[in-house]
Amino acid sequence: MLAHLPAINKIRVARHCVLRRLITGTWKNKEQCLFTPAKRKEIYKYSAPWTLYSMNWSVRPDKRFRLAVGSFVEEYNNKVQIVQLDEDPSEFVVRSTFDHPYPTTKIIVDTPDSKGIYPDLLATSGDYLRVWQQGTDGDTRMACLLNNNKNSDFCAPLTSFDWNEVEPNLIGTSSIDTTCTIWGLETGQMLGRVNVVSGHVKTQLIAHDTKCFDIAFSRAGGGRDMFASVGADGSVRMFDLRHLEHSTIIYEDPAHTPLLRLAWNKQDPNYLATVAMDACEVIILDVRVPCTPVARLNNHRACVNGIAWAPHSSVHICTAGDDHQALIWDVQQMPRAIEDPILAYTAAEGEINQIQWGATQPDWIAICYNKCLEILRVGVGRLSSGHPVRHPMRFPPY
Task: Evaluate whether 43 touches 372 at the Cβ level (below 8 Å).
Answer: no
Q: Indicate whether 133 pLDDT > 60.
A: yes
Q: How far is CA 64 from the centre of its chain?
A: 17
- Note if the bond before 335 is cis, omega within 30 degrees: yes
Q: How far is CA 268 from the centre of its chain?
A: 17
Question: To which H or E segment does residue 337 belong?
Answer: none
| pLDDT of res. 191 | 44
Task: Evaluate whether 37 touches 25 at the Cβ level (below 8 Å).
Answer: yes
| pLDDT of res. 293 | 96
> What is the secondary structure of 49-77 as a DSSP string?
SS-EEEEEE---TTSTTEEEEEE--SSSE
3-state secondary structure of 265: coil
**Could you read off the pLDDT of 345-369 as tens digits, one per residue?**
999 889 999 999 999 999 999 999 9
What's the average model confidence in pLDDT over 148-154? 75
Q: How far is CA 22 from the centre of its chain?
A: 29
d(CA 187, CA 319): 35
Q: Indicate whether 175 pLDDT > 60.
A: yes
| pLDDT of res. 7 | 32
Number of Cβ within a 10 Å radius of residue 31 = 9
d(CA 325, CA 352): 7
**Could you read off the pLDDT of 290-306 as tens digits, one per residue?**
999 999 999 999 999 99
Q: Indicate whether 37 pLDDT > 50.
A: no
Question: How much of the chain is in helix, strand and coil states, percent to nearest 5?
Answer: 5, 50, 50
Nearest C-alpha neighbor of 253 from the set 276, 271, 273: 276
The residue type of 323 is D
3-state secondary structure of 328: strand
Task: Lay out the sheet containing 271-276: strands in order across.
Answer: 259-264, 271-276, 282-286, 295-297
Q: Indicate whether 13 pLDDT > 70.
A: no
| pLDDT of res. 195 | 60
Indicate the DSSP class of residue 34: B
d(CA 65, CA 44): 10
**Could you read off the pLDDT of 224-254 as tens digits, one per residue?**
999 999 999 999 999 999 998 889 999 999 9
d(CA 79, CA 100): 5
Indicate the DSSP class of residue 103: -
The residue type of 9 is N
Q: Indicate whether 33 pLDDT > 50.
A: no
What's the average model confidence in pLDDT over 3-21? 29
Note the helical H segments in 117-206: none
3-state secondary structure of 93: strand
